[in-house]
Amino acid sequence: MKSPEKSTEKTPTTNEPFAFSAANLETYKELLTRYDDVESALLPVLHLAQEQTGWLAENVITYISNLMSIPEIKIKEVISFYDMFYDVPVGRNIVQVCTNISCSMFGGREIYQGLLKHFDTGYLTPTRDGRISLQKMECLGACELAPCMRVNDDFVAITDLTSAIHKLEELP
Amino acid sequence: MKNTANNKDYALLSYHHIPGVHNIDIFERAGGYETMKECFNKEPEAIKEEVKLSGLRGRGGAGFATGVKWGFFTKDRNAKKYLLCNADESEPGTFKDRYLVEKNPHILIEGMIISAWALATQKGYIYIRGEFYQQAMILERAIKEAYAKGYLGKNILGKGFDFDLYVHRGAGAYICGEETGMISSLEGKKGQPKLKPPFPAIKGYRGLPTMVNNVESLAAIPWIMRHGAAAYKQWGTEKSPGTKLFSISGDVNKPGVIEVPLSTSLKDIIEIHCGGMRNGNKLKAVIPGGSSAPIFNAEDSYIVKMDYEDVAAKGSMLGSGAIIVLDETRNMGDVLKWTLEFYHHESCGQCTPCREGTGWLESVFKRREKGQAHKSDIDLLDKTASSMRGQTICALADAAAMPTQGMIKVFREELETYVSASTKK
Ligand SMILES: Cc1cc2nc3c(=O)[nH]c(=O)nc-3n(C[C@H](O)[C@H](O)[C@H](O)COP(=O)(O)O)c2cc1C
Ligand code: SF4
Ligand code: FES
C-alpha cells in the first residue's frame, strides 16, 4: 500500500485534455487483446499512460475512464493502492531508495534521509528544477546490491550517501 | 565440500554459465525446449504424475506439493482456465526469481508451456512485480521469440493445443504476491486478497480455475520431465526433494543467489558458498526464509539444514529461501523495527486484526523514538502478535506476528534494552 507520507506540493492539474499518442493508442489496442476482459488491462494501461505523462493527473484518469468504461472513482482507488502509480506531479527521474532490512543494514535509511536533505525535498516532491522525485521503498528484490536504489527503470548499486548523490547529479 | 553454487549439474541454474542464453537460439543449442517437444508426445496425466512423484514443493513460500495442487485442478481439458506464474517476489530478502529469469527467461517459459499442456490451460500470465521492469522486458522479448518458433499461440507444434502467454506488470504492492491478491490485481483492482476457500485452482482469475505457481516451481518442471522424478530425488531429503535457490544477503562476503540441494547446511551456505562472514565478524543470527520467518540464533544457524522439515523443527520456516545473515554488530531491535514498519505499510487494510495489529506492533518503536517505550512493551508486542494469528483473510498478519514472536523468544533481553534505553524517566 501507498506510504502514508504524502507529497506536500500539489501543483494545479492542467486543464488540457489528455490523449494517448498515436503509437500508444496502438499499444493500448494490442494490450486489450491479451485479456479476456477490459478491466484486466487497467494496470498495464495506467503504466502506459504514466510512461507518456509522468504521473496520473485528473485529465489522464478522465481519459482512461472514458476509453475503458471504468468509473473514475475505481481508477483512483487503484492508483492510490499501488506505490508505483503517482497521483501527484513527480520529477523527470524517479529515484527509489530501499529501506528494508538488508538495505537498512548498509545505511539505506540514512541515504534516503540524506538525499532528501541534499535535494531539499520530501517524499515524491519534485526537486525545484523538476529533475528528481525521491521515494522511500520496501525491499526492491535486489538485496545483494544493498544498499540498493532504483533510478527510473534500473537497479543501481551505491555504497553510501556520497556515491548516491554522485549518481543522481548525473541525471538529465 | 567444494563450492558447488551455480553448478551446471543442477537443475535451475544449469544454463546460467552460457553467455547469451536469454536468446532462444542459444538456449535451444544447449538443449532448451527439447523436453517441451518430448512432453507434447506424452499424456498430460503422465506429466502430472511425474511432477507428483518428484515431490517438488512450491517455491513461493508455503512449500505445498506442486503435483498435489495440480491434482486439484479440473481435468476437463475444454473448460476455460488459466496458468498464473507468481513472479511478484516481494518478500524482503528474496531475489532468486529475478536472478533466474533475467539471465534465463526461456527456462520459465518452457516450464510454463509444459505445465500448460499438462493442465490444459489456454492462457497464462507471468505476474511480475513493477520494480522488475528490465526483467519484464527480457521476458517479453523471450515470449516473442517463442511465438516466432511456434511454441506459443495457436496449434502449438501441430498438436492442436493453444496456449497464449503474457507478462503482466504489478505496480508496487507486496500483498500482490499472495495468490488471491495477485488475482484481484490481475483483474484490474486493488490487490486485496480474497477469502479461501474457494481456492484459485477451483475459482480464481475471473471466477475461473487458475493454477498459481511460483517462478522457481515452474522452472523446475523441464528438468524433472527430462531426467525423471527419481533423478530429481537424488537431491535433498524424502520430504524436501530436489534443489532450491537461495538468495543470501546481509553480512556475508559474497551475497547473491545459489542453487544447492535442499538440506544443505546453513553453515556451508554461509562459509563456503557466500565466502564467510564480512570483515571476519562473528555470526549473531540468521533470518532463514524471508522477513516473515522467525530468526535463528548463531547456535541454531550453525546446525540447521536448509530443508522444509529441519528449519520447521527448529522453529522457523524455509519460506522463499531468503537468507539474511546478521553479524555481532547488529541490533535486533533495529531489525524488528524495520520488519514491522514493512508489514504495517503493506497491510491491505481489509481485516481489523491485521490493519490495527501491524499498526500496534510498529507503534512501540514509534513511542521508543519519543522516549516513551518501556520494557513491558515487549510483552505487549508478544500479546498483540499472538492475537493476530489465524484471524485474517490472508497470511500477512501471521507473517508479521511470527517473526515478532520469534525475535522475542530468542532476543528478549536485547529488545527490552532497545526499547527502554532512551525512555524518559
Ligand atoms: C503475504 C504473502 C506474500 C506472498 N508473496 C509471494 C511472492 O512474492 N511470490 C510467490 O511466489 N508466492 C508468494 N506468496 C505465496 C502465494 O500465495 C502462493 O502460495 C504461491 O505463489 C504458490 O506457488 P507455489 O505453490 O509454486 O509456491 C505469498 C503469500 C503471502 C501470504
Ligand atoms: S491479513 Fe492483512 S493483508 Fe491479508 S487480507 Fe487481511 S488486511 Fe489484507
Ligand atoms: S532489502 Fe533492499 S532490496 Fe531487498
Structural domains of chain A sorted by starting position, each given as residue range(s) with its CATH number in brackets? 1-87 (1.10.10), 93-169 (3.40.30.10)
Using the atom order of ligand 1, give the atom closest to the CA of residue B182.
17
Residue B349 C-alpha cell reads as 487494510
B324 in A contact zone (CB under 8 Å): yes
CB-based contacts of A112-121 (< 8 A; 24+ apart in sequence)? A112/A136, A114/A161, A114/A164, A114/A165, A115/A161, A115/A164, A115/A165, A115/A168, A118/A161, A118/A165, A119/A168
B86 CB within 6 A, ligand 1: yes
Using the atom order of ligand 3, give the atom closest to the CA of residue B93.
4
Q: What is the C-alpha separation between A136 and A118, in angstroms, rounded?
A: 15
Q: What is the C-alpha separation between B193 and B178, in angstroms, rounded?
A: 7
- Strand pairing partners for B168? B127
Question: Residue holding cell 477469502?
Answer: B195
**3-state SS class at B213:** strand
Contact A170, A160 (CB under 8 A): no
Structural domains of chain B sorted by starting position, each given as residue range(s) with its CATH number in brackets? 24-232 (3.40.50.11540), 243-327 (3.10.20.600), 332-420 (1.20.1440.230)
A56 in B contact zone (CB under 8 Å): no
B409 contacts: CB under 8 Å, gap ≥ 6: B294, B315
E-assigned strands of chain A? Answer: 93-98, 132-137, 148-151, 154-157
Give residue A12's pLDDT.
Answer: 44
Give residue B422's pLDDT.
Answer: 77
Single-letter residue type at B57: R
Question: Residue holding cell 519460506?
Answer: B319
What is the per-residue pLDDT across A16-60, written as a single tens digit (0 to 9) for each? 799 999 999 999 999 999 999 999 999 999 999 999 999 999 999
Measured between CB atoms, which of B94, B339, B347 is closest to A1?
A: B347
B193 CB within 6 A, ligand 2: yes
What is the per-residue pLDDT across B243-277, written as a single tens digit (0 to 9) for each? 999 999 999 999 999 999 999 999 999 999 999 99
Give residue A43's pLDDT.
Answer: 98
* CB-based contact B189 A47, cutoff 8 Å: no
Could you say which residues of chain B have pLDDT below 50?
A: 1-5
**3-state SS class at B397:** helix
Give residue A5's pLDDT.
Answer: 47
Q: What is the C-alpha separation between B53 and B78, in angstroms, rounded?
A: 26
* Length of chain B, in residues: 425
| Tally of CA atoms within 13 A in the half-sphere of B80 that contains its CB | 6
Tell me the DSSP string of B310-344. Answer: HHHHTT---TT-EEEEEETT--HHHHHHHHHHHHH
* CB-based contact A139 B342, cutoff 8 Å: yes
* CB-based contact A78 B339, cutoff 8 Å: no
Q: What is the C-alpha separation between B216 and B288, in angstroms, rounded?
A: 18
Residue B342 C-alpha cell reads as 514493512
Chain A partners within 8 Å of B247 (Cβ)? 143-144
A100 in B contact zone (CB under 8 Å): yes
Give residue B7's pLDDT.
Answer: 60
Measured between CB atoms, which of B91, B130, B175 is closest to A84?
A: B130
Q: What is the C-alpha separation between B206 and B350, in angstroms, rounded?
A: 20
B184 in A contact zone (CB under 8 Å): no
Contact B124, B164 (CB under 8 A): yes
E-assigned strands of B171-306? Answer: 210-214, 243-250, 256-261, 264-265, 283-287, 296-297, 305-306
Give residue B65's pLDDT.
Answer: 98
Q: What is the C-alpha separation between B84 and B420, in angstroms, rounded?
A: 47
**Distance in angstroms between the alpha carbons of the first and the last residue of chain A:** 30
ipTM above 0.90, yes or no: yes
Contact A20, A48 (CB under 8 A): yes
Could you say which residues of chain A have pLDDT below 70?
A: 1-15
- Strand pairing partners for A94? A133
Give residue A9's pLDDT.
Answer: 41
